Structure 1
């Protein structure tokens, strides 16, 4: 068994004492006994199509005459669909052909043999009809790679859409975008799908993201898949439906991606291509496609879809877009199939258009719902995008943090005074920045007079680093998040976190004050105590420590906010920071 995309088998057969024409006669007569379809015949060889059956997946068999060696032919059998394994069917096809040719050879009389040879040679020597010439010309075009890029009658949408995808990528490269790995900022500027921008005004990203690719390999893989499905599908549904299908399923794949993980930057034609495969899958299941082709194509489609969905489970691949495109395409395909049940073309067109409007309505309704219920952090990210803070971050003008949000080191932050252990009040030159952690669904804002510290390690080797650590003089805020595997472990850590040191009588120490507070609408437990600060210039100074806990019961997650307060006036900043906290429930 050969593990290839399209397994094949090759062998050379010898028929001593026979001319090349006689061998062609044997092969043609053998194909009639085997009930193979004869696709093409010439003095150079024959192309057969093996019908689907218990012992075949619909392979293609090519018999090629060897001009330099009389009586020798090369036979090549290959799967026409993506199968990975042929289970020996290609080898068996060639064995069957050889056995049938030997049988024909033993049954034909010399007179019959000569009569068939003369007739075949006459057919070879006669002028080709216009239909035959057109057929050969079309086959020659199909063998050329340029065939997929040149629009023509009945094959218009596929090459135009492929050309648009390639042209957009070329223009991106010409403008300075990386050919192998475009930067995140480049993708956002060119129209990639990103929830905080798409759902706060850039609705057009749901369309443009289907023409933006993340590197040349991403483009080549998608265009190869597009070529394969385009050859079959456009002839089946027509040019107009092909255009509409690509755009509609692309929109649906984008909105499904926004619903599943709106904070992920998504780009590429794969969602729309999955939609086209979904349409073709509906036709294979419910439309009257020739039985011999249906099983081979269905096998190919299911393998493609299954492989890519499994492959898409790995990080960095937007499987949600694939699923959204596939489901919307399958639904659209069923609508087209229903339309084809009517004899009149007007009725077919009406049903198709009504169905397309229905799919678009589903997209539009879903998109509007998402826009109405955007997380509060999205408008803040939009403001930072519009103000240029996001671009400055990706251009390296801002400090890169541990999380997925944004941080800055402006001109004041880089000055030596920022590193002194003296609290610096907020000024008119300071701006408010946003931190956002997509995994924890946590966000907050902080003023730029507070320095974001990066590279902080977790409290233990197997513990994640803090989400955010801010410093201003000797004052700091440390925000951490922990997720526990079991409810029992969560409850135990919760009890441990809220326990207070005891005095000699076993009562909670008077140095610790614990109260329940509500911050930014979140119920938290606050513990305040004094701790000794040993720092240069401040030996033995007392510092207030404020520890806030928020327990997210439904996710077995604990958020910890630790404040070390040395300068009382810094508490105003800290209260303002805490008031911006947002945690998705």
Structure 2
């Protein structure tokens, strides 16, 4: 299904010259009150004005070379829409009927004279004013005009150029062109709560100029170009600059509020803010009535589609919503400013409104900074010490694995134990942070514990665990499962909390169950002995500790399973689990 439906047909006017056919088309367009966009000896292009019967279609009228009065006509919707409700077909039908009506009203001599006068007008030399006008129009309509600032169209090209320039410099410095790494985005100023809210306030600005690959940049600049052409003429270049910056700031702070642990970058939040301003002008009738309906339909489809598409994992829809809402509010302020006749009064109202929007951002940002989780400060320390960079580069984990492997080999060479020995926390061990963006699960673990990568689920079809840690034979495994229905969720919840029963049908005395609270999360803790080995062999007796957390709002279960071979390891495991956070 095309987003710009069209209809093609042919008109037959035998016995008439190309110029006579063109004269009939031009007079028909005037009678129908269509706008003449372009006229050549081979045809013409018309624009149907926006009204209750039209969404602003474009009519292309082409006289076939060497044909006897055969004309190709195409009517295409100029705004984004899924169906045209037959409007394109009706346009061509109206053109055909009106041309026939005009042809009938003119004598052959009158039509010939009109054609002769038209040819003389077309063949006369252009005046200097006409040449200058055509040259200016040519420049204005060229592709490069979108990137060249000019009077009345200053902010849009400068902001587009700035976004492109930043991306070019990023690529020149070695950043991957299609899929920049997480570390590259953080170094260049992407928005990330643990850094933005603990000192790097400037990320709320720079994130609006950083893009996650060439395709991301291309899509954002295309959307920006479209709204910039419409909006800058309405509000002016100064307001356009301020709108981009203010709505970009508001989109960043809303993203930090909704999911601060997500790395966010791109101009889309600010662009949604510009669309929000334009929607305010449409809703409050500051745009010509004949254009309002089509533009409103087009922009609502764009905004709605992007918001729905933004629900996909990995897309920061909170930034889109924050930008749109702040833009709509700013747009209302700009609309109100135009109620004043004097330009100074309009400017004063606009500036006061802009200061108000900035104060909303500043207040929100300060409140977020005052209420940062303790984990954010820890991540900040790891970022400044270089641990995060080493971890993202894979250097730290490799070193830890090598160190642990060496220690394990030493332990195994001096012991006949079947499993590797527990390695206590050393002076060189630090704590690392783990975060899963999809479930908003985070925790910390010491470097004497090894993170097992590539771990698989219990069955081939099962989801892999979020996190698996090991130290000797001691293990911690975190899994998260989301269920489609509330009934299924409640069934799993009941099964998870059901304890095994003994021969008398009573809960086994080996299982101890209690409720615990970890950072405001109400969990159920179950402990029980576990025998490893065949029933007729000595094997080993270990302790199993299981934490269950049920996230009702998302029908999601979190299960943290700890296997304790060494008593000393339980202290580490308790410290790790005490750092668990799951943001809603």
Between stretches 506-515 and 568-577, larger displacement belongs to 506-515
Match of 1:153 in 2: 151
Give a deviation string over 1:222-260, Cα, whole Å, max 9, x none: 111111111111111111111111111111122222222
Matched with 1:235 is 233
Aligned to 1:574: 573
Q: For residues 25 and 557 of structure 1, do their structure 2 counterparts lie closer, same or farther at Cα, with a shift above 3 Å needed?
A: closer
> In the TM superposition, what are the counterparts of 1:116-195 in structure 2 within 5 Å?
116-129=114-127, 132-195=130-193
Residue among 20, 23, 46 paired with 1:22: 20
**Is the contact between residue 6 and residue 74 of structure 2 (CA under 8 Å) also seen in structure 1?**
yes
1:493 counterpart residue number: 495
Give me the whole-angstrom Cα distance separating, in 2, the residues matched to 1:10 and 1:478.
Answer: 63
Aligned pair count reads 570
| Distance verdict in 2 for CA 1:185–1:293, change over 3 Å | same
Please give the root-mean-square deviation of Cα atoms over the aligned residues, in Å.
Answer: 3.2
Matches within 5 A, 1:343-362: 343-362=341-360
Is it true that 1:473 corresponds to 2:472 in the alignment? Answer: yes
1:432-451 aligned at under 5 Å gives the runs 432-451=431-450
Task: Quote the offset at 1:423 in angstroms.
Answer: 2.2
Q: Structure 1 residues 47, 423: CA separation in 2 closer, same or farther (over 3 Å shift)? A: closer
How do 1:8-157 and structure 2 match up within 5 A? 8-65=6-63, 68-69=66-67, 71-129=69-127, 132-157=130-155
Aligned pairs for 1:377-392 within 5 A = 377-392=375-390
Q: Which runs of 5+ in 1 are unaligned?
A: 401-407
Task: Report the counterpart of residue 277 of structure 2 in structure 1.
Answer: 279
Matched residues in 2 for 1:458 and 1:213: separation? Answer: 34
Partner of 1:329: 327
Deviation at 1:160, TM superposition (A): 0.9
CA contact (8 A) 2:524 2:547 kept: yes
Tell me the TM-score normalised to structure 1 length: 0.87
Displacement of 1:562 after TM fit?
A: 4.2
1:413 counterpart residue number: 404
State the partner residue of 1:262.
260
CA distance in 2, matches of 1:518, 1:118: 92
Query: What secondary structure, in the 3-state scheme, does the structure 2 residue paired with 1:569 have?
Result: helix
8 Å contact kept, 2:464–2:479? yes
Name the TM-score, length of structure 2 as normaliser.
0.87
Of 308, 317, 329 in structure 1, the residue corresponding to residue 306 of structure 2 is 308
**1:75 partner SS:** strand
SS at match of 2:201: coil
Could you tell me which of 230, 233, 248 is aligned with 1:250?
248
Q: How far off its partner does 1:73 sit?
A: 4.1
Question: SS of 1:413's equivalent?
Answer: helix
Deviation of the 1:350 alpha carbon: 0.8
User: For 1:301, what is the secondary structure of its paired residue?
Assistant: helix
Deviations 1:88-110 (A, max 9, x none): 32233223212211221121124
- Structure 1 residue matching 2:444: 3-state secondary structure: strand
- Contact preservation (8 Å) 1:423, 1:475: yes
Closer/same/farther in 2, CA of residues 241 and 541 from structure 1, 3 Å limit: same
Query: What is the match of residue 405 of structure 1?
Result: none
Counterparts of residues 528-539 of structure 1 (less than 5 Å) = 528-534=527-533
SS at match of 1:469: strand
Distance 1:513 1:238, change over 3 A: closer
Does the CA-based 8 Å contact 2:500-2:507 persist in structure 1?
yes
The equivalent of 1:426 in structure 2 is: 425
Contact in 2 for aligned 1:234/1:242 (Cα 8 Å): yes
Please say if residues 313 and 438 of structure 2, whose CA atoms lie closer than 8 Å, have aligned partners that are also in contact. Answer: no
